[in-house]
A and B are shown apart, each in its own frame.
Chain A
Amino acid sequence: MIHLVWLVPFLPLLGFLINGLGRRYLSKSLTGVIGSGSVLAAFVISLFIFFEVRQPGFMPQVVTLFDFISVGNLHIPFAFQVDQLSALFLLIITGVGSLIHIYSTSYMHEESDEGFARYFAYLNLFVFSMLILVLGANYVMMFIGWEGVGLCSYLLIGFWFKNTSYNKAANKAFIMNRIGDLGFLLGIFLLIQQFGSVTFSDVFAQVPTLGENSGVLFAVAMLLFIGAMGKSAQVPLYTWLPDAMAGPTPVSALIHAATMVTAGIYMIARSNVIYSLAPCIQSIIAIVGLVTALLAATIALKQNDIKKVLAYSTVSQLGYMFVALGVGAYTAAVFHVMTHAFFKALLFLGSGSVIHAMGGEQDIRKMGGLKKWMPITNITFLIGCLAISGIPGLSGFFSKDEILANAFGFNKIIYAGALIGALLTAFYMFRLYYITFTGKFRGTHEQEHHLHESPAAITFPLVILAVLSVIGGYVGMPEVFGVPHFLGEYLSPIFAPSAPFLHAHHLSHELEWGLMGLSSGLVIIVIFFARSKFRQYQDNGVANTGLAKVLENKWYVDELYEAVIVKPLMVLSGFFQDTVERSGIDATVNGVGRGVKWSSRQIRLLQNGQVGFYIFAMVIGMIVLFVISLFL
């Protein structure tokens, strides 16, 4: 089955081509079937691959399709690598991907035939790119997928292209990603310079020869991490992700929550050998992750757009994953990627269901009491909130707990920060839940009249994802429960090479129980606090002041970037255009021309037409020559 792995990305590509080229001629149902079917088929193949990979003693296999770039000693094949990590990501991408495709067939049904097909074409292209990203057997392949998902994200954020602000959001996303991509690219070049190869197996085999604390390795690790910052929306390159919510909601669920934004985590997990050998970069990652987690969580406290809250929550959760990577808990990071994919996709799709019922309204202040009309959405959304908050027994609890425990072993301050972040998460998620689903309805009568539970194509994925959000965590139970950590065992071959360089901190069972109890207890208290505060929420219409206002305005980071980066760039460009170009170089060139013109006009005056003068000049000239030849 492994040699057929190329089918996994190929099928969505085929779907993209059919839907893209035939968008004028296909009916909506056919488009939907092709779009969802191709991803579903890829999911089935991924399942087979997964079961094959799961066999004990499986060795990573590389399937080379053709020679992509081959220059001198540098060979970059177009090759796929199948191993435990990529197989797991295949499952997440195609699995969540197919659910979201199915969901979209209903959600996007109001689009025109052409727009509908375009949407599915983009979505398929995205799945294709994402699969290339995780399947690539070298960094260039990864980069291909990396830029490809960026492109699809751009296309889908700007899907409703008539709206200029959506386009701006799309541009912002692409450009911010490109800043990261530049780091990634430079990292690749450094690898080429050092190792003459970008193939994972070659690079990872050679990395330990550089030894710990090598400057080159730090540079590689840092450059790749800059790439990850852009794609996974970490401080300071995170501001594009909340704006990316301009796209259709299923897109936010798939691209901007479940899959694409986790590419950075995938990359660092993939390069774990490099990072384990660069402990100082790891600390930077942990700090950046923590800052992101806290910053985004505080902003989420005061947002009123249902999707914005979820977006900041995504940024914050991604921060958690980076904390995990930074403290060397690669398994925990990947675990959190998986559980987060379930519950965040669930939450986004749930919010989509709400927005759908509200006729496009996204402001939670105008919602309320939706529980009554939308029971399935309500239940599944609640499960999502419980899972993300880390209520014991749900998936989020296990993954988050693993991260917290590892952070505790690494550094107490990081642990404390992460714990605060977890409490903030619980608070804003339940604020969101209570304002939206409980209390009195605060929208217009017309909206109230329209409220309804969404159709099956929407609720079916919600239910599946809700189930996964509940049970998804049991593959990675903490040691104290005495059950094997299935995910850890499964992934151990991937992280084995870096194990000797990590300084594992083993916590005693009592301590682990204690930490678990502490975090769970605090989270439950916070939830009840949020319940008391927002269950009967009334929009009092008073403008926020002080810190609340700062939070509502997202710490003014966008304004800061505008003033520090965009404005100076524009000023610089204006300076180049008006001063250097026009009055500098061009003026010099034109000045030369004008100088020639002027001097010729002066010299022309000598031609005065007086024969006598000419002869006189001739005689003078002759005398001068005479004198020169005689005396010099």
Chain B
Amino acid sequence: MPVQYYIFLSIALFCIGIMGVLMRRNAIIIFMCIELMLNAVNLLLVAFSKMWVDAGRTDAASAQLFVFFVMVVAAAEVSVGLAIIVMMYRNTHSVDINILSRLKN
């Protein structure tokens, strides 16, 4: 499969993620959209890695290491982020992010 397919898929996923972050107010959905964007990037990384390996560049496989990095960071982020959202729900009984604007003043 040509690499373009992966790129288009990745762009589509990334844009869905962005739109979700921008449009939705539910913190959990925003959270999921962020994950979606991260995975879009992961997909690209793997795709390009494969592409270069096929082209004969042996060192290109190391690009896949980044994917693991991103996944680890995302996992860490999920744990912190979900904890925050849980605390938020406990305090406000809502996961609407617009309620949390007390920093404004």
Contacts and interface: CB of A to CB of B under 8 A. Distances in A.
B46 to A, nearest CB: 22
Interface in A555-614: 607-612
A608 B104 CA distance: 5
Interface string A617-631: 001000000000000
B22 A612 contact: yes
Interface in B11-65: 18, 21-22, 25
Given A610-B98, A611-B97, A612-B25, A619 B18 contact: yes
Contacts of A607: 103-104
A256 to B, nearest CB: 78
19 contacts: A607-B103, A608-B101, A608-B104, A609-B100, A609-B101, A609-B102, A609-B103, A610-B104, A611-B97, A611-B98, A612-B22, A612-B25, A612-B97, A612-B98, A615-B21, A615-B22, A619-B18, A619-B21, A619-B22
A420 to B, nearest CB: 92
9 A-B pairs closest in CB distance: A609-B104, A609-B101, A609-B103, A611-B97, A615-B21, A616-B22, A608-B104, A619-B18, A610-B101
A608 B100 CA distance: 11
Contacts of B25: 612
Given A608-B101, A610-B98, 17 more contacts: A609-B100, A609-B101, A609-B102, A609-B103, A609-B104, A609-B105, A611-B97, A611-B100, A612-B22, A612-B25, A612-B97, A612-B98, A615-B21, A615-B22, A616-B22, A619-B18, A619-B22
A297 B74 CA distance: 107
Contact count band on A:
under 10
Interface of B: 18, 21-22, 25, 97-98, 100-105
A602 B104 CA distance: 14
A609 B102 CA distance: 7
Contacts of A612: 22, 25, 97-98
A336 B24 CA distance: 110
B13 to A, nearest CB: 15
Contacts of B101: 608-610
A612 B98 CA distance: 8
A512 B99 CA distance: 118
A629 to B, nearest CB: 17
Contacts of B100: 609, 611
Interface of A: 607-612, 615-616, 619
A608 B98 CA distance: 11
A615 B101 CA distance: 14
A430 B104 CA distance: 96
Nearest to B104: A609
A609 to B, nearest CB: 3
A608 B18 CA distance: 21
Contacts of A609: 100-105
A193 to B, nearest CB: 71
Nearest to A608: B104
Contacts of B102: 609
A616 B25 CA distance: 13
Contacts of B21: 615, 619
Nearest to B97: A611
Contacts of B97: 611-612
A148 B22 CA distance: 86
Contacts of A611: 97-98, 100
A22 to B, nearest CB: 76
Contacts of B18: 619
Nearest to B98: A610
Contacts of A616: 22
Contacts of A619: 18, 21-22
A564 B100 CA distance: 73
A615 B105 CA distance: 19
Nearest to B18: A619
B35 to A, nearest CB: 15
Nearest to B102: A609
Contacts of A608: 101, 104
Nearest to B27: A611
A619 B17 CA distance: 12
B33 to A, nearest CB: 10
A610 B99 CA distance: 9
A608 B105 CA distance: 8
A460 B101 CA distance: 103
A630 to B, nearest CB: 14
Nearest to A622: B18
Nearest to A623: B18
A609 B97 CA distance: 10
A616 B98 CA distance: 14
